[in-house]
Chains A and B, each alone.
Chain A
Amino acid sequence: MNKKELRTVLLVEDSIADAEMTMDALTEAHLANPVVHVEDGVECLDYLYARGAWASRDPGDPAVVLLDIKMPRMNGLDVLTRMRGDQHLRRIPVVVLSSSREETDLARSWDLGANAYVIKPVDVDQFFDAVRTLGRFWAVLNEAPDAD
């Protein structure tokens, strides 16, 4: 196991059910990477900056951030804005996972620098397929530069 494989997959999702389903799908993908689930934007930034409740986490950036848009306190687009504006966080791959088919959400996500935009399918098989593919691609296949 090299260093890259040990990187975490950060799941930012307020819905417990969605989170559970996503975790199931990632498990089914047989990812070795640990999956960390945070429930809103504020907690996501806490994790990324290793502060607050996450002050004592293991160092290192996540391999990918799976980011929901609609969340309480701070939504996904605000998180994305903050990440892309931060020298240390701007290279972390972000996949927006959303139920929204709204063009505006899609366009804004791309404008803000999302690496992918995935609409969560209602069809459960499609959903599992999508999450498995995502996990494999971003956590295993994708080569991200080392953090500065």
Chain B
Amino acid sequence: MNFSGIMRWRVAGLLLAMLIIVGMPYVVTRENTQATQLANAWVTHSTAVRSLTYRIAYLVRDSEAAAYRLLTGDADTATQTRAARAATEVPDLLRQLRSMTRDNPEQQTLIGALENAINGRLALVGQARGQLQRGDAAGARESLREAGDLFPVNVKIESIVHNESRLLVAREKAAAERVFNGQLVLAVTALAQLLLLVIIVVASERQIGQRRLAETRESRAVQRSRLILQSVREPIALFDANLHSLLVNNAFSEMYGEELQQSSRPLAEIGDGAWNDTVLLQRLKDVLLRDRELWDYDIVQHAADGQVRHVVVNARRLQQEASDEPSLLLTASDVTVRALTEQRVTELNHQLEGKVAQISDINRELEAFSYSVSHDLRAPLRHIAGFVRKLKQHLGEKVDDQAAHYIAVIDSSAQRMAQLIDDLLVFSRLGRGPLRLQAVDMQSLVEEARTLAESDQEGRRIVWTIGALPMVIGDANMLRTVWQNLLGNAVKYTGQCEVARIEVKADRGNRGDYEFTVADNGAGFDMQYADKLFGVFQRLHRASEFPGTGIGLANVRRIVTRHGGRVWAEAEPGRGARFHFSLPATDATGAHNGESAA
């Protein structure tokens, strides 16, 4: 049942209670009054009946007494009249008495008996008077005596009076009971009135209290909403159907003018016309008229102080009830910083694209450069060598030792330069070409490199200790180059050892990456020059001691770095060197020695 239903029932109940409380005393009072009146009437009635009865008795006796006086010789007229009076008056009185007690059969019976007795006595009294007039005094006496003996009336009179008294008592008692009941009802009604009053007072007090509480809550909620609205940092404003401001929060008035907190102004004039944008105003009218939401509408606003703001506008129609005039809720987010950042990002992207293009250009130039080096620098070297040869042929027998020496130096220099160019080209190619990744069996690469390194070392004693090496993912040709360089170096730098000991092993690092080690007992190097070890054409030994151009370890570093690993070394002069390189963990892990590459 809803609230209004409850209210209706409550009002109906209240009305009924009021009706009962007001109506009951009225009815009860009225009834009481009537009962009292009736009781009084009965009392009067009973008194009247009694006195009438006594009057009848008196008249009868008085007549008899007068008759006795007459008997004694009193011939007074007054006495004569007294003696005759009963006969004339009593029948009327008896009729009266009979009519008064018509509602009471018992009294009627008694009155009937009384009437008979009285009639008998009166008849005898009349007879006595007649006898007396005729002078028959003895007969008269006898008649009077008979009247007293034959027709006793005292008992009957007493019965009637007694009956009437009894009736009176009963009636008075009933009347008193009714009065008492009426008072009881009045008292109960009064109690009920009191109770109802208390209930009404308590209920209304409670209602008032609840209403007050609800009002307090509501006003607090309103207060809170207002506080929230005011403390939101995003500018929010409410406009009426004509786009005049109704309510703005602090953020909005801070941005577009403090006067908005006090007075209503049309949107187009707010913020010195910052909102006077034809398209936007049209869109907002659409929001109001057609209930279309405005989503993230970007506008650029020029403030009076010359500041430019990038604002994202969102708006929607607010309509609490269908009959209300709709209003427009509008939020304006200042995204100037974001817009500027985006602008900056775009600029940076442009710059970056430019840089990328530059890098591609540089790469192309590098390619052209290597090509040029490969082709153009080698040709003159070939010519030097070719024409030195021709010179030698030309001189023939005439060449002396000096000339032969010069020719030999020119020749070997040309060769060395050709070697350097080739090395440089290889190094550059290692950096440029794509990695052809595949599963690579390091074990077989090491075997291959070992065979190659030993191939021109007949007569040397080399003890190899090669551990189990894993499968890795990598560029097989490049990794082959790594092993060839490291094992070649190990063989080369142990050249002066009686027994060369070279150990190759693989360990797994903490993060699952592989760490390969090539250790030898050869010449080693001074650790303070270790940083030069992996540079291009950097050497820690003289070419006369150990031949080479110094490109090998540079290649190793370039390859390992391109595979995502790193390379390092430790050594001591005369006590050997240990070269390490790591490769990141790959899916081919777990495949260890014994599973050769397909």
Chain A interface (Cβ < 8 Å from any Cβ of B): 15, 17-18, 21, 24, 69-70, 98-103, 120-125, 127-128
**Which 6 pairs from chain A and chain B are nearest by CB?**
A122-B418, A124-B385, A17-B383, A21-B386, A99-B378, A124-B389
Task: Return 15 A-B CB contacts under 8 Å, by A number.
Answer: A17-B383, A18-B382, A21-B382, A21-B386, A21-B390, A99-B374, A100-B374, A101-B374, A102-B374, A103-B429, A123-B415, A124-B382, A124-B385, A124-B386, A124-B389
Judged by DSSP, the binding face of B is: helix
| Interfacial residues of chain B within 409-430, with CB under 8 A of chain A in the complex | 411, 414-415, 418, 422, 425, 429
Is A24 touching B390 in the complex (CB atoms < 8 A)? yes
CA distance A101 to B383 in the complex (A): 17
Closest residue to A124 on the B side, CB-wise?
A: B385
| Across-interface contacts of B375 in A (CB, < 8 A) | 69-70, 98-100, 102
- Provide the bound-state CA to CA distance between A116 and B415, in Å: 25
Inter-chain contact B415/A122, CB cutoff 8 Å: yes
List of B residues within 8 angstroms of A102 by Cβ = 370-371, 374-375
Shortest beta-carbon distance, B555 to chain A, in Å?
16
State whether B379 touches A15 (Cβ < 8 A). yes
- Residues of A near B370 (CB, < 8 A) are 102
Residue in contact with A122 in the complex, picked from B376, B378, B425, CB distance below 8 Å: B378
Is B137 part of the contact surface with A, judged by Cβ < 8 Å? Answer: no
Residue from A18, A69, A103 in contact with B383 in the complex, judged by beta carbons closer than 8 Å: A18
Question: Measured between alpha carbons, how far is A125 from B378 in the docked complex, in Å?
Answer: 15
Residues of chain B contacted by A127 (CB below 8 angstroms) = 382, 385-386
Q: Which among A123, A127, A128 has the highest number of chain B CB atoms within 10 Å?
A: A123
> Counting CB contacts under 8 A, is B388 at the interface?
yes
Q: Which residues from A are CB-within-8-Å of B93?
A: none
List residues of chain A with CB within 8 A of the CB of B386: 17, 21, 124, 127
CB-CB under 8 A from B422, the residues of chain A are 101
B113 contacts partner chain A, Cβ-Cβ < 8 Å: no
Which A residues are in CB contact (< 8 Å) with B383?
A: 15, 17-18, 21
CB distance from A77 to the nearest CB of B (A): 13
User: Shortest CB–CB separation between residue B389 and chain A, in angstroms?
Assistant: 5
- Kindly identify which residue among B382, B387, B390, B411 contacts A99, using a CB–CB cutoff of 8 Å: B382
**How many of chain B's residues touch chain A, expressed as a range?**
20 to 34
CB distance from B414 to the nearest CB of A (A): 7
On whether the beta carbons of A120 and B374 are closer than 8 Å, the reply is no
For the complex with contacts A15-B383, A18-B379, A70-B376, 16 further pairs of A-B residues with Cβ separation under 8 Å are A21-B382, A21-B386, A21-B390, A99-B376, A99-B379, A100-B371, A101-B422, A101-B425, A102-B374, A120-B378, A122-B378, A122-B414, A122-B418, A123-B418, A125-B389, A127-B382
Looking at the complex, which one of A69, A100, A103, A120 makes contact with B382 (CB distance below 8 Å)?
Answer: A120
Q: A93 to chain B: closest CB distance in Å?
A: 23
Q: Is the CB–CB distance between A121 and B425 below 8 Å?
A: no
A98, B378: Cα distance in complex, Å: 10
Q: Give every chain B residue within 8 A of A69 (Cβ-Cβ).
A: 375
Complex: chain A residue closest to B370, CB-CB: A102
Nearest chain B residue, comparing its CB with the CB of A25: B386
Minimum distance in angstroms from B177 CB to a CB of chain A: 137
Residues of A within 8 Å of B418, CB to CB, are 122-123
B346-382 to A contact mask, C-beta < 8 Å, 1/0: 0000000000000000000000001100111011011
CA distance A99 to B425 in the complex (A): 13
Please, what's the 1-or-0 string for B288-325, where 1 marks a CB less than 8 Å from any CB in chain A? 00000000000000000000000000000000000000
B379/A124 in contact, CB under 8 A: no
In the complex, the answer to whether B374 meets A122 with C-beta atoms within 8 Å is no
Contacts of A18 in B (CB 8 A): 379, 382-383
Interchain CB contact (< 8 A) of B385 among A70, A103, A122: A122
Residue numbers in B under 8 Å from A122 (CB-CB): 378, 381-382, 385, 414-415, 418
Determine the residue in chain B with the shortest Cβ distance to A121.
Answer: B382
Q: Which residue of A lies closest to B387 (CB)?
A: A17
Closest to B390 in A: A24
Q: CA separation between A101 and B429, bound complex, in Å?
A: 11
Out of A101, A121, A124, name the residue touching B388 (CB < 8 Å): A124
